[in-house]
Structure 1
Amino acid sequence: MATRTAGNLTDAETEAGTAGAGTVARTRGLTKRFGPRTVLGGVDLDIERGEFVALLGRSGSGKSTLLRVLAGLDRDITGDLDVDGTVAVAFQEPRLVPWKRVLDNVTLGLRVPDPVRAAEEALAEVALTDHSDVWPLTLSGGEAQRVSLARALVRNPDLLLLDEPFSALDALTRINVHRLVLDLWARHRPGVLLVTHDVDEALLLADRVVILDEGRIAHESTIGLRRPRGRDHPDLVELRSTLLGQLGVSLEGTS
């Protein structure tokens, strides 16, 4: 069976694992089955501290399953798994508790000497200081996702897991939240695994792009360009074509 140290969605405080000094998550031969179906088939993956990894793949490729395993939400696995430090997760849906105000959502399950102060500082980082006393149902989609990010970052995670957190946002809000996430990541430097279907999003945000196909890593590319990145950079144009091809998308006939 796999060995791991990790926690749950809101207060994933963990023991030190056995990953290398620069590695926050490490899997070897990680396998997950649902009955006769193999969802993850021997995944070997390292995520370094301060590294931003984007995980791409077609629907059913095992992306969200891998994220749930790393988060400690699915323990019925085989292989070797080690997560070193604290884990936090932000999902596609913000999953805010509707009967608790924003500040109380951020402090929920938080075990620090002064949780209110910590939550207030986290809300300030996502520019929502003046929303601390409002109800979640009064928030816009972008505001709710920013609360979700504050709730994750208030735990000072060593590993931040993002499960398609931008997919439900409109285009302009998504751009703003992308910038916010990069700013927060640069400030706190957790290892990040972003699950996404959006190749352009992966190229914009990530240091490395990993493609899952039928539960196995089919491709990896490292992006050596500094941010901000323009989509028309020759290296990105070529890499975008490569990634789309790996995902079964043909660009023939497009200009």
Structure 2
Amino acid sequence: MRSLTRRFGGRTVINGLDLDLEPGEFVALLGSSGCGKSTLLRILAGLDAEIDGNVAIAERRAIAFQTPRLLPWKKVWRNVVLGLVGRPDRHLAEAALAEVGLGEHADAWPMTLSGGQAQRVSLARALVREPDLLLLDEPFASLDALTRLKAQLLVAELWQRHRPAVLLVTHDIVEATALADRVLVMANGTITDEFSVFASRPRVPDDPELAAVRAKLLLRLGVSGRGTSVERDGS
């Protein structure tokens, strides 16, 4: 991305943004609500082309949203292959579902799934496209704490297995440092800070290196105390 700008009427949401994502790199993007994170993901997903500047995007890309967005009238396996060119391939869907631990749910209806299972179906739908770029828009935000942790571990495992470039939008500093090679801070429509994370994998929350990066992020984001969420006071 070079000098990427997106305006809505007279309001500039993304302002001359420059950013490179390396092949196979896992990048997390933090920032308060309204800073332009989701707009950036929509542009990278090809859902918003009303931009100024230059963007070169991997042709094979997929996105998983905060909500799974499954069609309730289609069985799970058909949701996985939804939108793929050609005749729906059940074998592809079953292979992707097996990777996320839902191999026995191919014929289930979405309404019978738990929140965590539905989000795993969303990940399977992204994986079946074999993306070079995987976009994650707060995919764990609606999950309870234990399910969220399991989903984070699953994403880390799937990333290491397939090695797409990943851009994860999150408000959770612990999540960002647990998963990413690089953590970016976005404010006023541009990238203001960048922090590299060199801790070995699998990562543990009390790793001193992760704690040091989290401390720097908290300081940069103006969060006092021991909180780990970017959002506070309803921001």
TM-score by length of 1: 0.86
Specify the alignment match of 2:118 in structure 1.
Answer: 144
1:112 is displaced (CA, Å) by: 6.1
1:69 is displaced (CA, Å) by: 0.5
Specify the alignment match of 1:212 in structure 2.
Answer: 186
Specify the alignment match of 2:76 in structure 1.
Answer: 102
1:177-209 per-position Cα deviation (integer Å, ceiling 9, x unaligned): 111111111111000000000000000000100
Q: Which amino acid aligns with 2:7?
A: R
Specify the alignment match of 1:47 in structure 2.
Answer: 21
| Conserved 8 A contact 2:78-2:88 | no
1:127 is displaced (CA, Å) by: 1.0
Q: Which amino acid aligns with 1:133?
A: D
Is the aligned partner of 1:71 residue 2:39? no
Give 5+ residue unaligned stretches, structure 1.
1-26
**Regions of 4+ moved over 4 Å:** none
Output the aligned Cα RMSD: 1.5
Give the whole-Å Cα distance in 2 for the aligned partners of 1:115 and 1:209.
Answer: 37
| Conserved 8 A contact 2:62-2:131 | yes
1:35 is displaced (CA, Å) by: 1.1
Is the aligned partner of 1:172 residue 2:146? yes
What percent of counterpart residues are identical?
61
Specify the alignment match of 1:122 in structure 2.
Answer: 96
Specify the alignment match of 2:231 in structure 1.
Answer: none
SS of aligned partner of 2:18? strand
Give the whole-Å Cα distance in 2 for the aligned partners of 1:245 and 1:126.
Answer: 36
TM-score by length of 2: 0.93
1:226 is displaced (CA, Å) by: 1.2
| Conserved 8 A contact 1:241-1:251 | no
1:74 is displaced (CA, Å) by: 0.7
| Conserved 8 A contact 1:53-1:208 | yes
Give 5+ residue unaligned stretches, structure 2.
227-235
**Partner residue of 2:10 out of 10, 16, 36:** 36
| Conserved 8 A contact 2:110-2:118 | yes
Q: Which amino acid aligns with 2:225?
A: L
